Amino acid sequence: MKETPYLGFGIGLRPKHYADLLKNPPKVDWLEIISENFMLDGGRSMSYLEQFQERYKIIPHGVSLSIGSSNSLDWTYLKKLKKLVAQLDPPWFSDHLCWNHYGKKYLHNLMPLPYTSEIIDYVAERIRVVQDYIERPMLIENVSSYVEFTGSTMPEWTFLSEVSEKADCGILLDINNIYVSAKNHHFDPMLYLRSVPKQRVRQYHIAGHDDQGSYILDSHDHAIRDEVWALYTEAIPLFGDVSLMIERDEHIPSLSDLLKELNYAKALWKNTVAAPA
Amino acid sequence: MQKRSGKTQLLPPPDFLRDVQIWMQDAVSVIELDPKKALESRKYLTGSDHLESDERLQIYINDYWPRIVESLAEDFPKLKKLWGDDFIDWVQAYLTEMPADSHSLFNLGKRFPAFLKRRYKEKNRALVLEIANYEWAHAQLYFVKNSKALNLEKLNDPDYLMQSHFRLAPTAIPLYLQHDLINWNNQKQVQSIPTYAVVFRDAQFHILAQSVEFGLYTLLNLLKKPMKVPALIEAATPLLVSAGFNPEPLDYQKWFQTAVQNGWMTQTYQRRK
């Protein structure tokens, strides 16, 4: 896989923060956008995007590629994505290792995949095709899940690792999703972290979740919890300099509060890197 | 590597993957978990001490509707306020019959007005259908293509005016409303005031609505098909006369100016050979 630059610490670009980000541009290393919200022909979002592009490196992160779908690849979607990538010129683009539609019906949710060797081959080939077409490295993100499939023959970390190796793509490691799935499926999150190929992890997501008692919901609507910060701290020495992004999609806090979380992530990284081995 | 030409075949999807996706898609996009699907869940999903397979499936069902309802509530705020809790029932009926067929949530509401036209039979049917059309006009203008503004001064050039093909800008939608939705804020009963209106996106990307004269509304409707000014006047005049107007050349000039100033008209540019 091609080398990718270390971008530092970023946040998700959300409409609530547009005005603040333009008025007093804060020290944020980069921004991540939801690709589909900008795969448009015109309008306000596209106008804002041009303004942010002048100030920040912007990475497109998709939610609807549906790389694991049994459907054939959606070339109309890919054409729009390619246009967006050409506009932004990012070092990579990303989406999830999941499916979200079958036939013509979209669930608009990140649905997990069964983990089998056959599905590794199937998904990895599709990622290769997409990477070649977009002409940019792709990172695949682990999703949080609430189900496991009877047909699965391996753990999630093996599946993710083998897909990335066979597809020759990168990994966007969502630390919160690892925590959520570990709790929901009773596995050791550290085993997950230690098992994924170090050189392929190019970005982190960290986010908040909601404890529902009998399971953990990946809600992206809370501040990042201590247990996720702790897992992030464990990841730092394992993976080295990996670009990080704080993800918040619901109950979005003020920009200043989000930046406090970002600064906290930076401080953890500095302290961990500086600490003697 | 495989391109769209399809010369190199990609691997077919594994049978188990396809079976799981067909089953799970049907199982998740329902209002209540079907007992048959609950039983079948054991075939596809593993349970645990904490949660049985059907309880795990239920988490996805619980997650499916709020996201979709919230998205449509953003596109149809007046309908949501008018209906209150019934809004969720109508959204669920809509998406059960016409599931999301686009990768983008922006397109989720595009068939909602047509669905309501077919299904909504209540006493306030006319008002509801009108609100649905009015709000979807607003929603779709959020993401349509930008159009090139016309130069008002150029309208003084007779050659330009007579020879160019003009058309309705993609950022403008003329609507005939039987109710005063433009000034209705849901706080009081909506007035039955027939209104000719244009819902449009301005240069600062605000989505606005404005009432217009019948003459201008007629011109804009005709401009859905590109045409030159003489043809436009020829088509508009009998419509206006039959509606009781006797338009003067000055009226056309005024309507043209209003349309151009507001960015409601654009030009069809000829491709150079």
Q: With an 8 Å Cβ cutoff, are B146 and A41 in contact?
A: yes
Query: What does the block give as tokens for B266?
Result: 């654009």
Query: Which of B256, B263, B257, B227 lies closest to B146 in space, CA to CA?
Result: B263
Q: How far is CA A255 from CA A20, A24, A33, A57, B54, in A?
A: 7, 11, 16, 18, 40
Tell which B residues from 48 to 107 touch A, by Cβ distance under 8 Å.
48, 50-51, 53, 55-57, 59-60, 63-64, 67-68, 71, 99-106
ipTM above 0.90, yes or no: yes
Amino acid letter at B186? N
Tell which B residues from 145 to 174 touch A, by Cβ distance under 8 Å.
145-146
Kindly list the structural domains of chain A, giving each domain's residue range(s) and its CATH number in brackets, ordered by start.
9-274 (3.20.20.150)
Closest CB from A105, A119, A129 relative to B101? A105
**Separation between Cα atoms, residue B265 and residue B273, nearest integer Å:** 25
Is the minimum CB–CB distance between A106 and chain B shorter than 8 Å?
yes
Is the minimum CB–CB distance between A75 and chain B shorter than 8 Å?
yes
Measured between beta carbons, which residues in chain A are less than 8 angstroms from residue B103? 36, 64, 66, 74, 77, 101, 106
Residue A125 gets the label, from left (phi > 0), alpha (psi -120 to 50) or beta, of: alpha
Q: Which residue of A has its CA nearest to B99?
A: A105
The secondary structure of A69-123, three-state, reads: CCCCCCHHHHHHHHHHHHHHCCCCEEEECCEEEECCEEEEEEECCCCCHHHHHHH
Q: Best residue in A16, A35, A99, A106 to probe B by mutation, most B CBs within 10 Å? A: A106
Closest CB from A39, A43, A74 relative to B142? A43
Give the total residue count for chain B: 273
Q: Which residue of A has its CA nearest to B69?
A: A108
Q: Best residue in A34, A107, A128 to probe B by mutation, most B CBs within 10 Å? A: A107
Q: Domain map of chain B by residue range?
A: 13-143, 146-273
pLDDT tens-digit readout, B182-232: 998 867 788 899 999 999 999 999 999 999 999 999 999 999 999 999 999
Query: B146-273: which CATH number, 3.30.56.10, 3.90.930.50, 3.40.190.10, 3.20.20.80?
Result: 3.90.930.50
Is the minimum CB–CB distance between B37 and chain A shorter than 8 Å?
no
Mean pLDDT is lowest, of A141-145, B73-77, B245-249, for: B245-249
pTM: 0.92
**Separation between Cα atoms, residue A137 and residue A116, nearest integer Å:** 24
Tell which A residues from 232 to 261 touch B, by Cβ distance under 8 Å.
none
Q: How many pairs of residues across A and B have Cβ atoms under 8 Å apart?
A: 146
Predicted confidence pLDDT, tens digits, chain A (277 residues): 889 999 999 999 999 999 999 999 999 999 999 999 999 999 999 999 999 999 999 999 999 999 999 999 999 999 999 999 999 999 999 999 999 999 999 999 999 999 999 999 999 999 999 999 999 999 999 999 999 999 999 999 999 999 999 999 999 999 999 999 999 999 999 999 999 999 999 999 998 888 888 888 888 778 899 999 999 999 999 999 999 999 988 888 999 999 999 999 999 999 988 776 5
Query: What does the block give as tokens for A135?
Result: 């002409």
To which H or E segment does residue B233 belong?
Answer: helix B229-242
Q: How far is CA B54 from CA A143, A256, B67, B229, in A?
A: 20, 42, 21, 65
B25 within 8 A of A107, measured Cβ to Cβ: yes
Q: Which residue of B has its CA nearest to A134?
A: B3
